[in-house]
Structure 1
Amino acid sequence: MKTSIIILTFNQLNYTKLCIDSIRKYTDKDTYEIIVVDNHSTDGTVQWLKEQEDIQAIFNEENLGFPKGCNQGIEIAKGDNILLLNNDVIVTPNWLTNLNKCLYSSNDIGAVGAISNYASNYQTIKANYKTNEDMIEFAERNNVSNKDAWEERLRLIGFCMLIKKVVIEKVGLLDERFSPGNFEDDDYSFRMKKAGYRLMLCKDVFIHHFGSVSFNKNRGEFNNLLSLNKKKFEEKWGLSNSYYFNIQIDLINLMDHFKFEKINVLEIGCGCGGTLLQIKNIYKNANLYGIELNEKAAEISNTFANVKCINIENDDLEYEEEYFDYIIFGNELKHLNAPLDVLNTIRKYLKKDGKILATFPNIMHYIIIRNLIYGNWKHDTQTSIKFFTLDEIHNMLKNANFKIERITGNTKQPTEDDKKFIDSLNNITEKDMTNQYQFQRYFVRAKNTEIFTDTNNGSRNIKFLLRRIENDILVEESLKSLIEMIHDAKLNLNTAIELIDTNIIRKEKVLNQLALYLSKKNMYEYANILSSKAYEIKSANIETQNPLKNIEGDN
């Protein structure tokens, strides 16, 4: 199997030499061919390329841009795979081997990409090396083939994208309307998704990327080109790149299930499904559902999730009641006319211990206040028709029978002038409200407050069984009834542990008894978690309690 590596050049000879030298050094011989398409370089690149015996080169008389140049290379490629590679990268040990392992791990994988020190689309990882030698050592530690390090993505960035040749034959060449460059990789990713292929990010492949060296000399020209091609993309696909592609990492981080558990997740306003797809990468047994008004976006997200194109405020929902573990409002609450009504409606579809995860734009952010004071703030209803204060968030969720479990936020580092302005606001209010002024958005996890309030008095029954187990009363029978009750109430394992932690004195004992019971039922993953929790409690007791104290307390 051979890979055709296609590299575009326009001057920047030093970067090109580093890139090709690294390919020669870290790629198995006879597994690749190098095709360089030069877009009329004037810095000696052309002469150097003519001297390289292992490179096929195409020399253009003018700069035809990235998409056109890549298409020229693809048309003469003889490989089974096509690798689009920027000339400002340095490849590393095992890079191509690992990419190919992922690419051919499944017939429905169309393309794969790498992580780097410099990339958009969440393809960047922290890398603190200072020399090339340090970078290679870092990459060697990272580049150990590992299928658990593969993530499915909506799109891949074109600085390093490996594509099966048969996929290109099906979806066609790059769209040259995006010349000289930018958004052609987004477009290509979506075309592959629509054709039924999955795109995978290989986190077991790290390569160094210097980053946009062809455009860095004229940032103004680059920004104008970015805006122009963004508009072209939106006209072609009917989608805003920034809004519909987002991955709500901050909300995903608020999820508190164990990764192996089977969970049901609904996202309201799921866009193209970036957040849902990332949840699936983490929670392999998750069932994904979405609601999205934009038909074009829903068409993409429907390739991997059950997505309905309906209006959450007007249309009937056909979901089973008490079905979802999480209902996510990533961007949607700020667009609703009556968010409280939607929260009240949606709650019945949550399990008794189900939770909502929501993003709220903060109207008290200091930039908004400052712009209001100076008359510069414009309310763009396309972006948001609702803003919230922290107090309003608490009251709205309380009125919808939700209780906030956790709330975080995001902020940018304020300048010294910003800090002075925030201090002046605190002086006006005569109390420190710095956090409320700094947070641009709040990220909230809230639980259904009707948990355990069913007609069978589930809460009291579960507590009763836990105390019977704790006191060695009909233990086997009580364990069986407890597991059945937890299952019938649709409670997750975290909630069961929370109940034990809240209501039982001898927590370690009850956890171990539950773990043993589950092991007998071949539910080993759950049993191991309960045993680990019991061990944590035992270790804490040894460290914090007087060893002579009767740990059984009043019992």
Structure 2
Amino acid sequence: MKTSIVILTHNQLDYTKLCIESIRKFTVTGSYELIVVDNASTDGTISWLNEQGDIRTIFNESNLGFPKGCNQGIAISTGDNILLLNNDTVVTERWLEQLTTALYSEDSVGAVSCVTNNCSYAQKISTNYNNLEQMQQFAAEYNVTDPTKWEERLKLIGFCYLIKSTVIDRIGVLDEIFSPGNFEDDDYSLRIRKAGYKLLLCKDTFIHHFGSVSFGEMSAKYSQILRNNARKYENKWGFSPLYSQHIRMEVINLIDEPSDMPINVLEVGCACGGTLLEIKNRFKNSNLYGIELNEKAAEVAKIIADVQPENIENDGMNYEEGFFDYIIFADVLEHLYDPWNVLINIRKYLKPTGKLLISLPNIMHHSVMSDLLVEGNFTYAEAGILDRTHMRFFTLKEIQRMSFSTGYNINHIGGVSTGVSQEEEIFIDRLNKLGETDLRAQFGTYQYIMSSSKNLLYDIILTIMDFKDQPITIVEKLRDYNIQDILSMVNVLFKDDDYSKTEVLNLLGVVHFENGEYKRVLPFFEQAHLTDMINSEVLYNISYFLYFIGEVSAAEEYRNELRKIDKQAHEDLSEVVKEMVISF
């Protein structure tokens, strides 16, 4: 089996030499052919290439860009596989053998890549070498074939991209609309997957990557090229290549389960399924579900998950209640009209022990405060998206209130921070002096990441009236909750219904009294009275209880109020009090 290694050059001769010398040293002779396509180098690269006897070359009179140059190399290749390799890489021991092993591990695998020291999209690993000699020592120990370290991906970064020739024959070559370069690998990855093939990232194989050498000469134009090609990609496929393929590692890291545990995971706003696919890599027995309104992105996510085009703001989804171990809202809630209602409605689909994983933007981030207070503007760039139409923003306290009011306990909350310059640090200090509490951490947090579980108190209070004939059951259900939390939950659940709130609070006072929980009685009766000050039943009960515990003066005040609104109840209470042998 032979691999055609296609390398593009545009100056940077020293890097090219390092790359090709490493290929010769660490790749089995006869297992590859070298094809170099030069895009009008002027630094001696052409002369050097002409001196090499083992390289097939193409010399372009002008810089035709990366996609076009790769296609030229592919056109003259003779290998069973094509390897697109950047000239700013240095390969290592067993690199190609291991990549080829993964490529042919299944018929369904269409292309593979490796990890490196300098790369985006989580293809970078931590290293501690200081020179290329140490790098090769590191790689020699690292590069050991291990199929458990192969991960399926939505896309592979094109610095080292090994593809079966049969796949190229089927789907065609790189799309040259992405010249001079960037997003052609995103595009090609998607085309491979839509053709029914898998992409594997081989985390058992490492090569060195200097990174962006070719584009370094045109760094002033680089950002514009990225924006232009991102738009081309979105126009072609119907979704953003930046947002829709993102892997939310910080959210996935909150999943705390054994790796072999069968878990049901729903991601709301799953886009193309990058996060779900990474969950599958970590939890092999997971069952993946998604909700995505962008039909084009949903088509991609459906390759690996059961994806529905549900509008999450409509109550009632096609899932069993109590089905999910995890429900993920990553950069979603802030875009909803009523996130509180969505969180309430989604509760029923979580298992009793299920977790809600959420990321939310922080309005107190110093960049927002600076725009607002210094510039008089209000902008917030989230995940590269500048359009804030219908976006909501949250403080830490608001997140905590929203969680409690929708029936959740926050088990963990952390933050994603951005780098802070010296000038920004000074601004944060000035902001912090405006209040009495140290809020530096909140001013430095760009986004909050949290894990929440069902607050069972929410369900207990919501169904409390179903157990009104079972007072001991109510008392037992509430025994482990403090009074203030119970009162807060009652206020949350019945904030717009004073009648029901009063009824529940009165019941709670009665059942605790009947079961001898005297220390917990009065707060319920008092709150019930504050909610409805002319409710004769509440006035009767609170007065009776105060007499019972010997608080005669306070009891008299409530009994007098009762007389004004319900004379019969007042007389009944008076008779009962007499029987208690209490002197009036």
Does TM, scored on the shorter chain, surpass 0.5? yes
Equivalent residue number for residue 14 of structure 2: 14
Counterpart CA distance in 1 for 2:387 and 2:167 is 40
Matches within 5 A, 1:321-470: 321-373=321-373, 374-378=375-379, 381-382=387-388, 385-450=391-456
Unaligned 5+ segments in structure 2 are: 381-385, 478-584
Tell me the secondary structure at the aligned position of residue 428 of structure 1.
coil
Q: Please state how far the C-alpha of 1:314 moved relative to its aligned partner.
A: 2.8
Counterpart CA distance in 1 for 2:275 and 2:390 is 20
Q: Please state how far the C-alpha of 1:194 moved relative to its aligned partner.
A: 0.8
Equivalent residue number for residue 25 of structure 1: 25
Query: Aligned in 2, Cα 1:384/1:152: closer, same or farther, shift over 3 Å?
Result: farther
**Contact kept? 2:6, 2:35, Cα under 8 Å:** yes
Equivalent residue number for residue 466 of structure 1: none
Query: Aligned in 2, Cα 1:343/1:195: closer, same or farther, shift over 3 Å?
Result: same
Counterpart CA distance in 1 for 2:71 and 2:426 is 54
Tell me the secondary structure at the aligned position of residue 110 of structure 1.
strand
Tell me the secondary structure at the aligned position of residue 46 of structure 1.
helix
Q: Please state how far the C-alpha of 1:217 moved relative to its aligned partner.
A: 2.1
Q: Please state how far the C-alpha of 1:191 moved relative to its aligned partner.
A: 0.6
1:105 maps onto 2:105 in alignment = yes
Letter of the 1:157 partner, please give it: I
Counterpart CA distance in 2 for 1:339 and 1:253 is 24
Unaligned 5+ segments in structure 1 are: 462-555
Letter of the 1:265 partner, please give it: V
Equivalent residue number for residue 529 of structure 1: none
Query: Aligned in 2, Cα 1:72/1:383: closer, same or farther, shift over 3 Å?
Result: farther
Counterpart CA distance in 2 for 1:276 and 1:4 is 33
Counterpart CA distance in 1 for 2:315 and 2:294 is 15
Matches within 5 A, 1:191-270: 191-270=191-270
Tell me the secondary structure at the aligned position of residue 257 of structure 1.
coil
Equivalent residue number for residue 271 of structure 2: 271
- What do you get for the CA RMSD once the two structures are aligned? 2.0
Query: Aligned in 2, Cα 1:128/1:399: closer, same or farther, shift over 3 Å?
Result: same
Q: Please state how far the C-alpha of 1:182 moved relative to its aligned partner.
A: 0.8
Q: Please state how far the C-alpha of 1:218 moved relative to its aligned partner.
A: 2.5
Tell me the secondary structure at the aligned position of residue 346 of structure 2.
helix
Query: Aligned in 2, Cα 1:163/1:346: closer, same or farther, shift over 3 Å?
Result: same
Say which one has the larger Rg. Answer: 2
1:291 maps onto 2:291 in alignment = yes
Counterpart CA distance in 2 for 1:90 and 1:70 is 19
Tell me the secondary structure at the aligned position of residue 140 of structure 1.
helix
**Contact kept? 2:315, 2:345, Cα under 8 Å:** no
Tell me the secondary structure at the aligned position of residue 259 of structure 1.
coil
Q: Please state how far the C-alpha of 1:164 moved relative to its aligned partner.
A: 0.6
Counterpart CA distance in 2 for 1:198 and 1:383 is 36
Query: Aligned in 2, Cα 1:319/1:206: closer, same or farther, shift over 3 Å?
Result: same
TM-score (normalizing by structure 1): 0.80
Letter of the 1:376 partner, please give it: N
Equivalent residue number for residue 160 of structure 2: 160
Equivalent residue number for residue 533 of structure 1: none
Q: Please state how far the C-alpha of 1:417 moved relative to its aligned partner.
A: 2.0
Q: Please state how far the C-alpha of 1:435 moved relative to its aligned partner.
A: 1.2
Q: Please state how far the C-alpha of 1:376 moved relative to its aligned partner.
A: 2.9
Counterpart CA distance in 2 for 1:58 and 1:315 is 61
Query: Aligned in 2, Cα 1:382/1:367: closer, same or farther, shift over 3 Å?
Result: closer
**Contact kept? 2:337, 2:390, Cα under 8 Å:** no
Equivalent residue number for residue 305 of structure 2: 305
Q: Please state how far the C-alpha of 1:442 moved relative to its aligned partner.
A: 0.4
Counterpart CA distance in 1 for 2:79 and 2:444 is 53
Tell me the secondary structure at the aligned position of residue 326 of structure 2.
strand
TM-score (normalizing by structure 2): 0.76
Q: Please state how far the C-alpha of 1:416 moved relative to its aligned partner.
A: 2.1
Deviations 1:275-327, CA, capped at 9 Å, x for gaps = 10000110010000000010111011100111112211137411011000000
Deviations 1:80-118, CA, capped at 9 Å, x for gaps = 110000011000001101111111111111111111111
**Contact kept? 2:368, 2:379, Cα under 8 Å:** no
